[in-house]
Amino acid sequence: MILEVAILDLKPGLTTEKFETTFKIASTIIASIPGYISHELQRCIETPNRYILLVRWQKLEDHTIGFRQSPEYQQWRSLLHHFYQSFPTVEHYEVVLHNSSNHEQEK
């Protein structure tokens, strides 16, 4: 599994509510791509116009080729990219160690 991490900084003056509503619509696009596993969007507490997007892919190419080179990516881009102050920083990670507490396992 590959974890895509994107830091999304919204342009000043844009409402987070509008972005979050539009993101929910765009979520159906990314979820339809082969190799997609899951995703989550989190808002920064200290910087309210900053989000982090975490997308789990089966393999790196599912994102870099399968999604980024697809017509669906163009739809994703037209829905979301006008919200960003600059093009998001995107990096990919692979698991080295995974551990969870008993409390987390109870959920």
Query: Would 101 be classed as within a structural domain?
Result: no
Instruction: Give Cβ neighbours of residue 43 (< 8 Å, ≥ 6 apart).
Output: 16, 50, 51
Q: Is the pLDDT of residue 105 over 70?
A: no
pLDDT of 106 strictly over 60: no
Pairing, β 50-57 against β 2-9: antiparallel
Alpha helices of 8-100 — where are they, by DSSP H? 16-31, 60-61, 71-80
Task: Tell me the per-residue pLDDT of 56-94, one tens digit each, with 9 for 90 and over.
Answer: 999 999 999 999 999 999 999 999 999 999 999 999 999
C-alpha pair distances (Å), 12 with each of 21, 47, 59, 76: 17, 11, 34, 21
Domain assignment present for residue 90? The answer is yes
Mean pLDDT of 93-102: 89
The answer to pTM > 0.95 is no
Whole-number pLDDT of residue 96: 94
82: containing domain: 2-94
* 29 domain-assigned: yes
What domain count does the chain have?
1
Answer whether 80's CB lies under 8 Å from 22's CB: yes
Domain assignment of residue 35, yes or no: yes
Residue 107 has pLDDT above 90, yes or no: no
In a domain, 24, yes or no: yes
CATH number at residue 63: 3.30.70.100
Nearest to 48 by CA among 93, 8, 4: 8
5-61 pLDDT per residue, tens: 999 999 988 889 999 999 999 999 999 999 999 999 999 999 989 999 999 999 999
